[in-house]
Structure formats: C-alpha cells, structure tokens
Chain A
Amino acid sequence: MVQPESLKTAGTLVAKEGHALLAGGTYLVSEKPAAVHTLVKIDTLLNAGIETTKVGLEIGAATTLQQLVDELGEGNWAKLAESATASCPSRQLRNRRTIGGEVARGRANSELYLVLMALNTELDLAGDGEDPVSIRKWDGNSVITDIRLKALPFGFQRFALLPSAPAFVAVAAANRDNALDIAVGGKADEVHTGTLGLPVNEADLSAFAVEAASIFTEDHYGTVDYKRHLIQVAVNRIGSEL
C-alpha cells in the first residue's frame, strides 16, 4: 500500500499495471483481485463533504453513502439519500462506501448511480485545471475529486423481491427543460440512458423501453418482455410525479 502526497501522484501511480485506488475499499477488499499488487490510498486526499451551491450540490468524492443519508435525509435532496439507502441497505457498508467509488464502479443495480446518470452529473477530476466531465462521458481513467449535481426534479423506481434486496429493474429520471433524462439499470451489465419529451408520449416510451430492455436477459425474475413492461411502468410513474 502506498500513500501518495497528492492526487496528481495518485493518478500517475494508478495508471501503472497492478495498481488500484483505495478509498472506502468495500468493493476492492471484497473482490481481492489477483491482478492488483499495490493499493494507492487516497481517502485522506479527497474531500468528504456536501456543499450547497447556486445550481445544486457539490459532493466530495470521499463522502460516504451514510453521510448522504444523514445530511440529505430530509429536504429537497431526500430522494438522493433514499437512492443511497436503496443502493446499499447495509449501514456498515454505507459507513465506508464513498460516492466517488460508487461512480467509479458504475454498478447498473445502484439506484444512486442511476440517479447521478439521470441528472447528468458532472465530475471534477484530479489534474491541472481540467474542466468537469459529464458522468456519461467519463472514461474511468482519472481520479474523481468532486461530484456536481444540478437541482432538477428527479425520481427513481425500483423493482426487487424485497425492499432490502438489489433491484432487478431500476429506473431513474430527471426533468431537464421539459424532457426526461432517463437511466435504466438493475440486474444487468450496463446502464441504458435516453431522453423522452414531456408529457411522455406512449409510442416514444414504448420504443425506448424496447431498446432499454435489451440490457436484460431472461432469468428467474422474469422475461425480457416483463422487464420492458416494468421500465414503461416506472417511467410513467416518475413522469407523473415530475
């Protein structure tokens, strides 16, 4: 384990083969990837706080999911806190799991990640004066320092066997200039994103749902067609809320 003095050095180190960033460690230590021989510890270099800005929120990458729950649990951003709990029902894990790690991991069954995708969140990356990058365009190769969210109306829906079980279909959407930016995930390898006009046109939604359902396979949760149907239900519910 190495503890670099700056994020710039951390970025250089992690580009080397066999090196991985360590902040919360909940994914990395659990998986113990054989290819990793050196951990680059960055938790003390990163900001772990939430600030309200003119346009929304700025969240330090080392902010834990439990901090989101504690600090945003009531008020305008309560749904973001809810999405953090849905993504990670274990408080023990939420006490360690960071929002930066959640973005870097990009789990399709993380409601928090889907919400950040729907909100078209911007990421500040370690480096010399680089501009923020959209979460949808981030290549995954640099150290995230801050996460910037715009205060847009948003919502999410999840379908799971139990409230504390991972969702097999989850949908998040944000209302941006009378259009719905949507992110669809769940038990899948990738997240599907798209945009629909508001009010939602059933034909457009139907076409979107067919495309989005292609990320799923048939399993014990249901057929692809059933999951397509759930996507439509979720988008309609979120659309009517927003």
Chain B
Amino acid sequence: MVEFLLNGEPLKVDVEPGTTLLEFLRERGLFSVKHGCDHGECGACSVLMDDLAVNSCLLLVNSLDGRRIETLEGLEGDKTLAKLQQEFLDTGAVQCGYCTPGMLIALTALLRQNSNPSEEQIRDALAGVLCRCTGYVKPVEAALKVSVRGGNR
C-alpha cells in the first residue's frame, strides 16, 4: 500500500509490483499523460513530482510514498499554465500535439522555479521532450513571450 497526492487528492493504492505511474495515470483516465517510448527518451509522459518535471514511465507507483504528483488535468486554473496554453495557441506552437502536454509540464516546472527564464534555460527545459514537428522554434517563442511577461506572476 502506498500513499501519495495526485492532483491534490490523497490516494492510498495497492498496485501490482512493477506498475509505472504512466500506466496508473492512464488507467485513471488522465490522458494528458501520453504513452510514448516507455524508456524516458521522449518526455511525452512528463508529470510534476514535487514541482519537478519527471518521466512517469520511469516511476514505479510503489516508490511514490509521500510524493505530490500533478498532471495537466490537475493544473486547470493554474495561471502559469493558462498563459502558456494561450501563447502556444497564439504562436502556433502545436502541430500534431502529442508532445504538447509534456512541453507544458516541462515549462510549468521551469516557470515555477524561475519566472523569467532565458532562451537557453527554456531550451534546456524542453530538451527532454522530443518533438518531430515544430523544430522547437514556435514552442520556444511561446515560452519566451510568457517569460518576458513574468511567467508565474
């Protein structure tokens, strides 16, 4: 039995050994968490754990005791996320969209730590999310617009 917070809700769960957080979240209908490579390579399954972006495919549910997990579904109403989403739309930073939740999680984590990140810091935050459509140009541009306005204020 393991206890942790998921999107603000305290959970006490008993899962099969070896169940990853990615599998667990998608079974609960949290489909913003995408199933990509299963090896920590693509970042599509990114979630926030204690405010840090991590790959949920590499986390075993049984190792999450006392942790705080957030997915995009739990960030509804979050001002930073709202600004990022709007800039992604306005800038045209979404093409196929499969990596977009991972990018938004990675950038939310960055903006929680630093409200005015530089382009280099934005690129570093996005390095763990593979995108085959955008070439990162538009997502970086969108994130920079949020950064200039003071991301989490």
Contact = CB atoms under 8 A, between A and B. Distances in A.
Contacts of B20: 29
B62 to A, nearest CB: 5
B40 A93 contact: yes
A43 B17 CA distance: 18
B46 A92 contact: yes
A91 interface: yes
B128 A89 contact: yes
B54 A96 contact: yes
Interface string B39-79: 11101001001001111011110110000000000000000
A91 B53 contact: yes
Contacts of B58: 25-26, 29-30, 93, 96
Contacts of B62: 1
Interface of B is mostly: mixed
Contacts of B40: 26, 29-30, 90, 92-93
Nearest to B18: A32
A25 B43 contact: no
Interface of A is mostly: mixed
Contact of B63 (A1, A85, A91, A93): A1
Interface size on B, as a range, is 20 to 34
Interface size on A, as a range, is 20 to 34
B90 interface: no
Contacts of A92: 40, 43, 46, 53-55, 106, 128-129
A95 interface: yes
A22 B63 CA distance: 9
Nearest to A24: B58
Contacts of A26: 40, 55, 58
A90 B63 contact: no
B9 interface: no
A66 B50 CA distance: 14
B53 A29 contact: no
18 contacts: A1-B17, A1-B60, A1-B62, A25-B58, A25-B59, A25-B63, A29-B57, A30-B38, A30-B39, A43-B63, A90-B55, A91-B106, A91-B128, A92-B54, A92-B55, A93-B40, A93-B55, A95-B54
Interface of A: 1, 22, 25-26, 29-30, 32, 39, 41, 43, 66, 85, 89-93, 95-96, 164
Q: Can you list the 6 inter-chain pairs with the closest CB atoms, starting with the nearest?
A: A90-B128, A92-B128, A95-B52, A30-B39, A29-B58, A89-B127
